[in-house]
Structures are given as C-alpha cells and as structure tokens.
Structure 1
C-alpha cells in the first residue's frame, strides 16, 4: 500500500494555478506540492518568497526515498517519507530560497490515484519500472533543451 500523501499535495496543478494560489496566501514560506508538468512521475515543491514562487523538483528514488534538487553544490539528502522531507526543509538554511513555514492545504480530496502510486505498482519487467536515474536523464535533457 502506498504511503499517504501530505495535505499540502495538490496533485495535477499548472505552474500558473500554483503561483495564483500561493500569491493569494501572500506569506513568505507558504508552500505546496504538485505534480510536475514536464517530468512524468516527479513532483514539485513550490515555495513563496517576496512575491516569487520558487519551484524545486521532488523525486523518488528506485528504492522509494525522496529527494529535492536544490542549489548546485549541495549534497543530495534522501528522506523515507515526504513528511520527513518537509520537516527537514522547515529548518532554515537548508538550500531553499525560503524555509517552509505555511502549508497550503488542498481543499478537496484527491479522487484519482496519483501517478507515482500507479508507477510504484509491480511491473512485468525491470525495463518497465520507473527509476530515479531515468527521471534525472529526462530532467537533464529538458534543462539542456531550455539552454539552446
């Protein structure tokens, strides 16, 4: 059975919808988690600071641990649950533009099974299983494409 997702998880939400919602909250350190629009199976941790929304990729490794892609040069830290990750980033000076302070909770129940829970189910062959490394390849390709 998949772990419960935190109430700050909003599922499928566009970047614009996220920015609007965090902007209405208008509090530095307001945050939510949404599905990535560009990387299948990844999520985004979005944090509001001084009218700007900072977005960090939230990835799950092949062994089920979670990590954030933060500022370059910082060591990757892995967490057993998303709640553990959130607790860690509530502390100051952990690599985010602003530490997490105000969870923006979803107002409605999620009616469909999140995509990453579907992917976590056993697949027929190792090639079909999602891997953290595969997500990283897509992310690096996407970032490279943006630089062109």
Structure 2
C-alpha cells in the first residue's frame, strides 16, 4: 500500500542536515519527518526545542502509525501521518514539546511504497539476501 507523504517529509536528509534545517528555523516546536538512517523504510519525527533536536521513531502496525516514545506516554495509533501530526500539535501529548512550525520540504513529497511494513515483520527480513532469492541447503 502506498502512503501519501505530508509536506514536512524531507526524505533522506541526514541527522546532521535535519539539525541544521531545524536550527535554521530556530523556534521551539519546529518539526519535520525524515527517513531513518538506521532502519531502511522507516521514518523519524524530529522536533526542535531549546537548541536540541528530539527524534522519535515512527512505527507501523497493521497499517497504522504510532510514535516510539517514553514508556509513560500512552501509545496512540493513527490511520495517516497527517492525523498523527495533527494529534501531536496539541499540547501535553508526550513529546518534548508540541508540534508548532512545519519545516516544509523544498521538493514535493513522494510516495513511500514500503512504509506500511509492520515493525514486527522487520526481524523476518534481516537475513534476506540482496537478490530476494533463497537457496536450499542440502544435508
């Protein structure tokens, strides 16, 4: 299933580039979405507060989105990324600060075809080879 990406999606910007973009905005609550550098096909929500960028991993489960946050924060699930962003624009939702200022991408958002792969199924693909073929091991 394809996912329409919001205008705050910056694709494959690095953590350093993200910090520069948010620092340039320089306002508490500035935010953007970017691709995870460590988990291919996953997203991070990055939020600026007092010269620090807080990064939250976006998780998917059964085609719904949630944020990996502190254990004390109740887990909330959303049907779309835009719905998730709207939720976290409200105060006191468990982030370092609520989302206030969208850092828009210079290029139009693209569609992410593999974004809805469930977190739980990631482990199954760790040993998959690059050609997506398997070999039979003989005794």
Judging by fraction of residues, say which structure has more helix: 1
Change (3 A) 1:118 1:3: closer
Q: 1:101: which partner in 2?
A: 100
Report the Cα distance in structure 1 between the residues aligned to 2:87 and 2:47, rounded to whole angstroms.
Answer: 14
Contiguous gaps of at least 5 residues in structure 2: 126-139
Higher relative CO (Cα under 8 Å, sequence separation at least 6) belongs to 2
Change (3 A) 1:87 1:136: farther
Structure 1 runs of 4+ with >6 Å offset: none
Mark the structure with the bigger radius of gyration: 2
- Taking structure 2 as the reference length, the TM-score comes to 0.81
The number of equivalent residue pairs is 125
Aligned pairs for 1:1-148 within 5 A: 2-61=2-61, 63-110=62-109, 113-114=111-112, 117-118=113-114, 130-135=117-122
Contiguous gaps of at least 5 residues in structure 1: 121-129, 139-148
Report the aligned-residue RMSD: 2.2
